[in-house]
Amino acid sequence: NAGVTQTPKFQVLKTGQSMTLQCAQDMNHNSMYWYRQDPGMGLRLIYYSASEGTTDKGEVPNGYNVSRLNKREFSLRLESAAPSQTSVYFCASRDSLSSYEQYFGPGTRLTVT
C-alpha cells in the first residue's frame, strides 16, 4: 500500500496562476484533510472532507477550493495564487469509523513569486 500520496512534490507559481494539488489514499478512509505548514506556525487546517461528496471549511479556507472526487481522491485548488500561499501543503486521511489517527502524505512545497 502506498498510503497517502501527493503530487507534485514541488511547485513554483507566479502570482495569479492557478494550480491543483492532488491527494490520493489507498486505505479506504472516509475522512480526508488539507493542511498548510508555515515557518513558526503549527499546521493549520484548510478544508476537510468527512465523507465522499462532503467538504467543510477549516481554519484558513480563503483562496482555496477543494473537490472530493471520490473516496480515494481529495484535491486542493488555488484559483489565483498569491505569495501568502507559499507554504508546505500536507494531505491527510483517517478511517473515521475506527480511529482518530490521521495518516499524512509527504507534502507539497509550493512557492508563489
- Interacting residues with another protein (CB under 8 A): 31, 40-45, 48, 50, 56, 58, 88, 90, 92, 96, 100-104, 106-107
Q: Max CA-CA distance within the chain?
A: 42
The DSSP letter of residue 104 is: E
What minimum distance in Å lies between the beta carbon of 57 and another protein?
Answer: 11
Q: Which amino acid is at 113?
A: T
| CA dist 80 → 18, 52, 63, 73, 91 (Å) | 5, 26, 7, 22, 20
Least separation in angstroms between CB 80 and another protein: 27
Give whichever of 2 and 41 is closer to another protein, judged by the CB atom: 41
Q: Which is nearer to another protein, 15 or 99 (CB)?
A: 99
Q: State in angstroms the smallest separation of the CB of 48 from another protein.
A: 6
β-sheet bridge partners, residue 109: 10, 88
